[in-house]
């Protein structure tokens, strides 16, 4: 019977110290031209040193972007790769493993954000469908996501951007790739829209491009059944299922994607591990792994407030909660270490109480 803190091999060669994964989180702290800084290194190293099995780095844009987070990282030139190499090297020095998550902002952008304006780069998306919401606090009047969208006319060019970004990630020393896939804004009528196969064409082309660089082993409808079937044909190391909805579309009450899609992944002869994410408690995670239903469990925001999350699990100490409000995620901040690298460990916390 597997245990949450039991070592496991991901894919064929990646030795993880346990089955606890740190999920990808946008933190808006890359203040050096959208490259990771010493604060970023400390943030990841603190959590790797504590024993986290696998860290998924924050979503990193593959091209200039106009997202709400002006200090989110990018990866599209050698300078970016060199900066990330400092992070991966430091994580490896303390025995950790770290994956890269490439990202294109699509329609959740505003063309007036500085990086887009400076590069003369438009807001590209699959279709001209504006995203709801958005609050661009750094722009006058705090506008939302733009309606000024340019429909992508050559998706293969964007596949090439993903290929280039993950190639740089490999050069930067990452241990692997996680590809984030969502889709609720496709009204295309060409080979990338309409049928299930066509809507899945782009992410599968991106995935195949990533596999060309890295090799194999990286929602509620017919579309996702087909998509997972196609993923399984590619002999990936893991598939990460989220029980979180997106873009205002929540999952049905009591619906569990693990029950629907888990057997497609954890099936006889499968070498692909099942990772799950979104607000799992330690107790839930332990029970799922012991029952043999999943292989890896991702914790995201708890890693913000608990740099010593693994130690807490080992010693059966409750996880600390956020007592500082919503600014801890993206800012504003005067120093990037604020609400990023100043969370106490349980030892420091207990000392503060006794003092």
Q: What b/e string do you get for 41-61 counting C-beta neighbours within 10 Å, with b at 16 or more?
A: bbbbbbbbbbbbbbbbbbbbb
Task: Please state, as a whole number, how many other Cβ atoms lie within 10 Å of the Cβ of residue 188.
Answer: 18
**CA-based nearest residue to 180, from 268, 282, 266, 60:** 60
State yes or no: pLDDT of 55 exceeds 60. Answer: yes
Handedness of CA 319, 324, 325, 327 (dihedral sign): negative
Q: What b/e string do you get for 71-109 counting C-beta neighbours within 10 Å, with b at 16 or more?
A: bbbbbbeeebbebbbbbbebbeeeebbbbbbbbbbbbbb
> What is the chain's length?
355
The strand pair at 60-61 and 102-103 is best described as parallel
Confidence of residue 348 (pLDDT cuts 50, 70, 90): low
Q: What pLDDT digit, counting tens, does each position of 145-161 carry?
A: 999 999 999 999 999 99
Q: Where are the domains of the chain?
A: 8-354
The predicted structure's pLDDT at residue 333: 87
The predicted structure's pLDDT at residue 256: 81
- pLDDT cut 90: percent of the chain above it: 76
Tell me the average pLDDT across 269-298.
Answer: 94
State yes or no: pLDDT of 272 exceeds 80. Answer: yes
Q: What pLDDT digit, counting tens, does each position of 123-146 carry?
A: 999 999 999 899 999 999 999 999
Rounded to 5°, the CA angle 81-237-282 comes to: 95
- Range of lowest pLDDT (49-53, 305-309, 319-323, 330-334): 330-334
- Percent of the chain that is helix, strand, coil (3-state, to 5): 35, 15, 50
Burial of 156 (0-12, 13-18, 19+ CB in 10 A): exposed
Q: What distance in Å separates the CA atoms of residue 46 and residue 192, rounded to the nearest whole number?
A: 42
The predicted structure's pLDDT at residue 352: 47
Q: What pLDDT digit, counting tens, does each position of 229-250 carry?
A: 999 999 999 999 988 766 556 6
Q: What pLDDT digit, counting tens, does each position of 208-229 carry?
A: 999 999 987 643 457 888 999 9
Q: What pLDDT digit, counting tens, does each position of 62-85 carry?
A: 999 999 999 999 999 999 999 999
The predicted structure's pLDDT at residue 184: 73
The strand pair at 14-16 and 8-10 is best described as antiparallel
Tell me the average pLDDT across 334-343.
Answer: 91
> What pTM does this model have?
0.74
The predicted structure's pLDDT at residue 104: 94
Q: Where are the alpha helices (DSSP H) in 5-154?
A: 38-49, 78-93, 114-119
The predicted structure's pLDDT at residue 83: 98
Query: Is 107 in contact with 65 (CB distance < 8 Å)?
Result: no
The predicted structure's pLDDT at residue 218: 46
- pLDDT cut 70: percent of the chain above it: 93
Tell me the average pLDDT across 183-187.
Answer: 80
State yes or no: pLDDT of 355 exceeds 60. Answer: no
Burial of 135 (0-12, 13-18, 19+ CB in 10 A): exposed
Q: What pLDDT digit, counting tens, does each position of 2-25 carry?
A: 799 999 989 878 899 999 999 999
Pick the CATH number of 8-354 from 3.40.50.2000, 3.40.50.10470, 3.20.20.70, 3.30.70.260: 3.20.20.70
Q: What distance in Å separates the CA atoms of residue 291 and residue 211, rounded to the nearest whole number?
A: 31
State yes or no: pLDDT of 351 exceeds 50. Answer: no
Q: What pLDDT digit, counting tens, does each position of 93-112 carry?
A: 999 999 999 999 999 999 99
Average pLDDT, the chain: 90
């Amino acid at each position: 019977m597997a245990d949450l803190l039991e070592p496991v091999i991901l894919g064929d060669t990646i030795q993880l110290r346990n089955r606890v994964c740190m999920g990808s989180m946008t933190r808006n702290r890359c203040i050096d031209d959208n490259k990771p800084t010493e604060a970023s290194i400390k943030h990841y190293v603190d959590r790797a040193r504590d024993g986290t099995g696998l860290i998924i780095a924050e979503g990193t844009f593959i091209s200039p972007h106009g997202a709400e987070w002006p200090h989110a990282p990018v990866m599209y030139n050698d300078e970016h790769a060199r900066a990330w190499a400092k992070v991966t090297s430091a994580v490896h020095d303390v025995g950790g493993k770290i994956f890269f998550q490439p990202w294109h902002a699509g329609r959740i952008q505003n063309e007036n954000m500085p990086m887009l304006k400076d590069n003369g780069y438009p807001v590209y998306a699959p279709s001209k469908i504006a995203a709801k919401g958005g609050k661009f606090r750094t722009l006058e009047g705090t506008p939302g996501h733009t309606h000024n969208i340019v429909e992508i006319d050559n998706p293969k060019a964007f596949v090439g951007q993903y290929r280039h970004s993950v190639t740089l990630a490999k050069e930067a020393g990452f241990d692997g790739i996680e590809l984030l896939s969502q889709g609720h804004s496709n009204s295309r009528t060409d080979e990338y829209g309409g049928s299930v196969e066509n809507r899945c064409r782009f992410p599968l082309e991106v995935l195949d491009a990533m596999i060309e660089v890295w090799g194999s082993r990286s929602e509620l409808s017919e579309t996702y059944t087909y998509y997972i079937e196609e993923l399984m044909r590619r002999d990936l190391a893991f598939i990460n299922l989220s029980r979180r909805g997106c873009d205002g579309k929540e999952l049905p009450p009591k619906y569990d994607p693990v029950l629907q899609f888990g057997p497609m992944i954890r099936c006889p002869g499968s070498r692909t591990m099942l990772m799950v994410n979104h607000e799992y408690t330690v107790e839930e995670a332990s029970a799922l792994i012991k029952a043999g239903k999943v292989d890896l469990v991702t914790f995201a925001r708890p890693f913000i407030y608990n740099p010593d999350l693994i130690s807490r699990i080992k010693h059966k100490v409750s996880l600390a909660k956020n007592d500082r409000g919503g600014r801890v995620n993206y800012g504003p901040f005067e120093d990037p270490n604020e609400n990023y690298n100043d969370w106490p460990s349980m030892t420091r916390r207990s000392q503060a109480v006794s003092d």
